[in-house]
Amino acid sequence: MLESYLRSHYQKYFVDNVAKYVAKYATPNQITLLSLCTGVCILPALIFHQRWIGVILLILTGYLDMLDGTLARLRSCSSEVGAMLDILSDRVVEAAAIMGLYFVNPMYPGFLSLLMLSSILICITSFLVVGIFTQNNTQKSFYYSPGLIERAEAFIFFAAMMIFPSLYPVLAILFSILVFYTAADRIHQFVFSKKLFNFSRRKA
């Protein structure tokens, strides 16, 4: 949700110029793999209770995730392999962050980590299913359906859980509820749009 309001301004000042420079030295897939490695390092950082390093790595992997897509569009080399790597990298990073948060807060039930992982699993399934069956008119490899909780919001939650470990239970439950809502709302909008489309066809 935040991305739709802030991305154009952030992109212009902090991503586009960097992408033009990086394009001389790296491919989009290399940046994706760098983002993946950076994100995976969140787990050991949190295991050793280096919470601020975890936050920095989280911000860095998020930035690299934006940079790889911009680089692909700049070099006109978007590919199905790149899209696959990007989606896979995102999920691995999210899993690493959530597992790391468990080690930051071992006194709380592991159920909270499972709840967050389950909500992400269901939400990404709804995202992929809607993307597959929706015509793509965007610059991305397939249709990215918007939602209340997207990657920016998820990273804000993760960072808050790292910085304020005492709030972990409340933030974990709130995050899961909002992610479940995002999945349900996405499916509802998709089904409603298909019913409306089919009704219009019958009427015509």
- 197-to-149, 183, 190, 192 alpha-carbon distances in Å: 26, 21, 11, 9
CB atoms within 10 A of CB 65: 21
Q: Which residues of the chain have pLDDT under 50?
A: none
Structure tokens at 78: 């978007």
CATH number of domain containing 154:
1.20.120.1760
Structure tokens at 9: 């301004």
* Terminal-residue alpha carbon distance, the chain: 35
Going by C-alpha positions, the residue among 154, 17, 169 that lies closest to residue 90 is 154
What total number of domains does the chain contain?
A: 1
Phi, psi angle pair for 75, to nearest 5°: -90, 0
pLDDT of 176? 98
pLDDT tens for each residue of 74-90: 888 888 888 899 999 99
CA 108 to chain centre: 25
Q: How many helices (H) and strands (E) in the chain?
A: 9, 0
- Alpha-carbon Rg of the chain, whole angstroms? 18
pLDDT of 201? 56
The pTM of the full predicted model, rounded to 2 decimals, is 0.88
Structure tokens at 179: 């992610």
User: Alpha-carbon distance 125 to 136, whole Å?
Assistant: 17
pLDDT of 194? 75
Contact present, 154 and 162 (Cβ < 8 Å): no
**By residue range, what is the domain housing residue 36?**
1-202
pLDDT tens for each residue of 29-57: 999 999 999 999 999 999 999 999 999 99
Burial group, residue 15, by CB count within 10 angstroms (0-12, 13-18, 19+): middle
Going by C-alpha positions, the residue among 120, 96, 100 that lies closest to residue 168 is 100
Structure tokens at 161: 């859980």
pLDDT of 4? 66
pLDDT of 139? 61
